[in-house]
Amino acid sequence: MAKCAVTGKGTISGRRIVRKGLAKKKGGIGLHVTSSTKRKFKANLQRVRVRDENGTVKRVWVSTKAIRSGDVTKA
């Protein structure tokens, strides 16, 4: 379940940022980053029965964006 079979969407890495302090518009000196932890953003993949060009039916992992946009013809 790593990547979408149509769009190629997959897992990307990022950070969870923790900020502390009082915002400037509330009278403080601004927010400061106190820590950042690594995390993963996973694509919303669904296992779908898809009909390909030859007319054969396969089960593949497809992103919900590809399903909604009509890039996939469901079987």
Structural domain boundaries in the chain: 12-69
Instruction: Name residue 47's amino acid.
Output: R
How much is the pTM?
Answer: 0.71
Q: What is the mean pLDDT of residues 37-58?
A: 94
Residue pair 75/51 in contact (Cβ under 8 Å)? The answer is yes
Q: What is the mean pLDDT of residues 17-43?
A: 96
- For residue 11, is pLDDT > 70? yes
3-class secondary structure, 68: helix
Sign of the torsion formed by the C-alpha atoms of 16, 22, 23 and 24? negative
DSSP state of 4: -
- For residue 50, is pLDDT > 80? yes
